[in-house]
Copies of this chain bind each other. A is one copy, B any other.
């Protein structure tokens, strides 16, 4: 099973200034991730990672897994109530690598907003394979910033 979002409409983070390595549809050297909103503050990306982004052969680099999870979490904030127009940055990010994540196969990357307290947002993330097995899990704290300072 690939998650409950098979039928949800996929979208890109498409605005002119977006050249982000993870999510820009315009960065030809980037990952061009796409997303599906699957509930309040819950976002999935169905993504297959290219081999040039491997660490060991056939295995997605741990830092590239961080890109995947960071993107799903950021979009989860922006898709949540009141999150559309705010600027947020990652403050703390913790990953647990449980099993190797393969390149070249469909993955589901999930970001879930757990709670918000003032300017702080707590999120969980996961990478699962096509059978639903949990490969990597993550927790993060994001912080709203007052200006459009890049992160």
Contact = CB atoms under 8 A, between A and B. Distances in A.
Contacts of A30: 52
Contact of A61 (B51, B61, B62, B70): B70
Interface residues of A, number: 41
Interface string A17-57: 10111100001011000000000000000000001111111
12 contacts: A21-B52, A21-B55, A21-B63, A55-B150, A56-B150, A62-B151, A63-B63, A63-B66, A63-B67, A63-B68, A66-B66, A100-B149
Given A66-B66, A90-B97, A92-B96, 14 more contacts: A19-B51, A19-B52, A20-B61, A21-B55, A21-B64, A22-B55, A59-B151, A61-B70, A63-B65, A66-B93, A66-B95, A93-B97, A94-B95, A100-B151
